[in-house]
Amino acid sequence: MTALENAVSFKDVSKVFRGPREIKAVDNVSFDIESGTIIGLLGSNGAGKTTLIRMTTTLLSPSSGRITVAGYDVMGAPEKVREHIGYAGQDTERSLYYRLSPRENAKYFGWLSGLRAETAVERLEHFACQVGMDDRLDQHFITLSGGEKQVFVVLRALLHYPDIVFLDEPSKSLDVLTARRIRGLLKEYRHEHKATVIITSHNLKELEDVCDRLIFIDHGRKVFEGSPEELKQIAFKSESVEVRGGPFEDAVVGELMLLGETTPMRDGRELRIVCENPYATIRHVVSILES
């Protein structure tokens, strides 16, 4: 991949799941991910992190907006996008073949990426040694523990040395030591291959150990982008007030926005106001709504 300023770009991206109840999983999100960085997508369960990852890896189509990965539009050139990415999702049990060992799985998935069997196995052995799993390479995948399976799913995503790696909750099921080793491996991989790594998690402590920047997703919207230290300062120094009962008139929203950083939620039916003094903010909110 030629050098690009941004490895991934989102421009006004939304994703709506239609059914008996319409769900807006991603709501008009825009941000760029600089090449060669490790980025954390932080948020609670159901915030929209996995939907974002699945759209960037061409597994889902955005309802609107534009996503580019490695300079290619995910809708216009999905096959080009796939040439440059590695992906480990949350479906650990179906991410490798049950009756094959990790070594045999590496040969197969390496072949899919155009690698010789010897090369794929050599790379797997190198990664496995780094995370303390080199004694599990010849066990059938079905016999491994949940955490061990998760480790090899992550390692599989790195076999073909992708330029951009997407990892959806990679530390789930892992003990503290193994999770730390995985983070160390990702740091080394980024440095050695000048790669971009995007990790989703709901655990700030884990992400701050490995990420250059964090993007906080809440109810499908980007509510923060900055360094881990900047996020901690906001989180520890600020409170929030949620105002429900909308949709609100534009004039009311305008007045509420003067009270602090204001984020619309649930299609405008709720507003979240980040503030330093929630008690004073509540008094102002009541005054505005009553006027």
* pLDDT tens-digit readout, 73-101: 999 999 999 999 999 998 888 899 999 99
pLDDT tens-place string over residues 207-253: 988 999 999 999 999 989 999 888 877 665 567 778 887 777 888 88
Give the residue-averaged pLDDT of 9-17. 97
169, 200 contact by CB (below 8 A): yes
CA distance 226 to 216: 9
* 268 and 131 within one domain: no
> What local confidence, expressed as pLDDT, does residue 206 receive?
86
The verdict on residue 213 lying in a domain is yes
Say which residue, 204 or 221, is predicted with more confidence. 221
> What local confidence, expressed as pLDDT, does residue 23 receive?
92
Of the residues 214, 235, 256, which one is the last residue of a structural domain?
235
> What local confidence, expressed as pLDDT, does residue 234 receive?
67
* 40 and 184 within one domain: yes
Give the residue-averaged pLDDT of 257-282. 74
CA distance 11 to 285: 32
**Antiparallel, parallel or unpaired: β 164-168 and 85-88:** parallel
Say which residue, 136 or 257, is predicted with more confidence. 136
Least confidently predicted of 135-139, 206-210, 278-282: 278-282
**Antiparallel, parallel or unpaired: β 196-201 and 164-168:** parallel
CA 45 from chain centre, in angstroms, equals 12
For residue 285, the enclosing domain spans 238-290
CA distance 15 to 207: 25
Burial class (CB in 10 A: 0-12, 13-18, 19+), 87: buried
DSSP 53-78: HHHHTTSS--SEEEEEETTEETTT-H
Of the residues 215, 235, 255, which one is the last residue of a structural domain?
235
CA distance 235 to 102: 41
Dihedral sign (CA 220, 226, 232, 233): negative
CA 112 from chain centre, in angstroms, equals 25
* 199 and 259 within one domain: no
Say which residue, 235 or 254, is predicted with more confidence. 254
> What local confidence, expressed as pLDDT, does residue 125 receive?
97
Contacts of 79 (CB under 8 A, 6+ apart): none
* 262 and 213 within one domain: no
* 243 and 225 within one domain: no
Q: Is the pLDDT of residue 166 over 80?
A: yes
What tokens were used for 206?
């884990």
Provide the CATH number for the domain around residue 65.
3.40.50.300
> What local confidence, expressed as pLDDT, does residue 128 receive?
97
Say which residue, 29 or 248, is predicted with more confidence. 29
The verdict on residue 114 lying in a domain is yes
- Kind and range of the H or E run holding 27: strand 23-34
* 111 and 249 within one domain: no
239, 278 contact by CB (below 8 A): yes
* 272 and 176 within one domain: no
* 242 and 99 within one domain: no
* 268 and 161 within one domain: no
Number of structural domains the chain divides into: 2
The verdict on residue 1 lying in a domain is no
Of the residues 213, 235, 257, which one is the last residue of a structural domain?
235
> What local confidence, expressed as pLDDT, does residue 57 receive?
97
* 227 and 186 within one domain: yes
Q: Is the pLDDT of residue 276 over 80?
A: no
Least confidently predicted of 189-198, 222-231, 265-274: 265-274
Give the residue-averaged pLDDT of 244-272. 75
**pLDDT confidence band for 277 (50 / 70 / 90):** confident
- Kind and range of the H or E run holding 154: helix 146-156
* 248 and 149 within one domain: no
Residue of 157, 190, 212 whose CA lies nearest to 40? 212
**pLDDT confidence band for 1 (50 / 70 / 90):** very low
% of the chain with per-residue pLDDT over 90: 67
> What local confidence, expressed as pLDDT, does residue 268 receive?
62
User: What is the average pLDDT score of the chain?
Assistant: 90
Residue of 106, 171, 166, 169 whose CA lies nearest to 136? 106
* 286 and 179 within one domain: no
Q: Is the pLDDT of residue 254 over 60?
A: yes
**pLDDT confidence band for 159 (50 / 70 / 90):** very high
